[in-house]
């Protein structure tokens, strides 16, 4: 049995029986070990989100299999939390109640829940704003609240789909540092999608570069550098160039596809 996440020969065709089937992912095989931080990097439209939905259990693969700790993934589970670009907080609930939502459903006793929520809010740096509503927070704070809500369920894998793409560049860098701290203390695996080379290099143990649609693995880049990383270090500049060359080819292909369709 493979511990952690195992994606084996997975394909996804959208609308397979319709007039225009759309192959999004093709024969993709990828293992994510316990505690590993893997980043999926690829041009837009290459099937990254499609793969994440399958791993989250929100969509079925058309072919292949996905297992977690050896068990097939058939439905969503708090073990595999999915975080999107736009934090999907409940606007009518306070930050506290958003973070504690899953704990309430689990039936955790109120006193214990309060303690847990306080600890989570502190962990993501939102100690002072628990009573506010999501619309009263900045975008970065909302993403941290979404992260706290996911962490409340003790996830074994955090699935993150361009989680910081809507944030300004400074906030984004802070959020990356924050995520690294949380990842290191939680022991969870992370599978994060981005189209930013810089983000991939700052975060990943391993970068998986996707081809243009249908998404396949084009290349894999291991990064052994300790974090926080100096993106101007010669090794990092070399890696950035390598990523850029790989991605460029696929972006060009993706643009051609879009022009033809």
Ligand X SMILES: Nc1ncnc2c1ncn2[C@@H]1O[C@H](COP(=O)(O)OP(=O)(O)O)[C@@H](O)[C@H]1O
Which of 42, 130 has the CB closer to ligand X?
42
3-state secondary structure 27-85: EEEEEECCCCEEEEECCCCCCHHHHHHHHHCCCCCCEEEEEECCEECCCCCCCEEEECC
154 vs 131: CA distance, rounded Å? 23
Residue 45 found at the interface with ligand X (CB under 6 A)? yes
Residue 258 found at the interface with ligand X (CB under 6 A)? no
Residue 78 found at the interface with ligand X (CB under 6 A)? no
Phi-psi region of 171 (alpha: psi -120 to 50; beta: other; left: phi over 0): alpha
Using CB under 5 A as the binding criterion, the count of chain residues that bind Mg ion stands at 1
93 vs 22: CA distance, rounded Å? 38
Residues linked to residue 208 through DSSP beta bridges, in sequence order = 40, 220
| Contacts to ligand X from residues 6-35, by CB under 6 A | 14-15, 22, 24
215 vs 51: CA distance, rounded Å? 9
Using CB under 6 A as the binding criterion, the count of chain residues that bind ligand X stands at 13
Q: How many CB atoms lie within 10 A of CB 39?
A: 25
Among 11, 26, 49, 196, binds Mg ion (CB under 5 A): 49
Q: Which does 45 bind (CB under 5 to 8 A by kind): ligand X, Mg ion, none?
A: ligand X
Identify which range of 46-54, 112-120, 132-140, 227-235 contacts ligand X by CB under 6 A.
Answer: 46-54
Identify which range of 39-47, 120-128, 132-140, 170-178 contacts ligand X by CB under 6 A.
Answer: 39-47
Residues engaged in binding Mg ion (CB under 5 A): 49
Residues engaged in binding ligand X (CB under 6 A): 14-15, 22, 24, 42, 44-50, 213
């Amino acid at each position: 049995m493979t511990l952690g996440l195992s994606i084996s020969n997975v394909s996804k065709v959208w609308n397979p029986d319709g007039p225009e089937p759309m192959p999004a992912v093709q024969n993709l095989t990828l293992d994510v070990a316990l505690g590993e931080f893997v980043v999926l990097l690829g041009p837009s439209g290459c099937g990254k989100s499609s793969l994440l939905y399958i791993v989250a259990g929100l969509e079925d693969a058309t072919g292949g299999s996905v297992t977690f700790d050896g068990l097939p993934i058939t439905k969503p589970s708090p073990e595999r939390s999915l975080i999107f670009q736009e934090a999907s907080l409940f606007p009518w609930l306070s930050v506290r109640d958003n973070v504690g939502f899953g704990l309430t459903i689990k039936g955790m006793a109120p006193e214990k829940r309060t303690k847990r929520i306080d600890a989570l809010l502190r962990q993501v740096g939102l100690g002072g704003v628990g009573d506010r509503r999501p619309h009263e927070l900045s975008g970065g704070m909302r993403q941290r609240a979404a992260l706290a809500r996911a962490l409340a369920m003790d996830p074994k894998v955090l699935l993150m789909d361009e989680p910081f793409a809507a944030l300004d560049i400074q906030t984004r860098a802070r959020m990356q540092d924050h995520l690294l701290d949380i990842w290191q203390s939680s022991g969870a695996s992370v599978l994060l999608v981005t189209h930013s080379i810089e983000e991939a290099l700052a975060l990943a143990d391993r970068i998986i570069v996707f081809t243009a649609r249908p998404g396949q693995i084009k290349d894999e880049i291991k990064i052994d550098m300790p974090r926080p990383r100096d993106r101007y270090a010669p090794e990092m500049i070399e890696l950035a160039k390598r990523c850029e060359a790989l991605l460029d080819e696929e972006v060009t292909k993706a643009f051609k596809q879009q022009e033809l369709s």
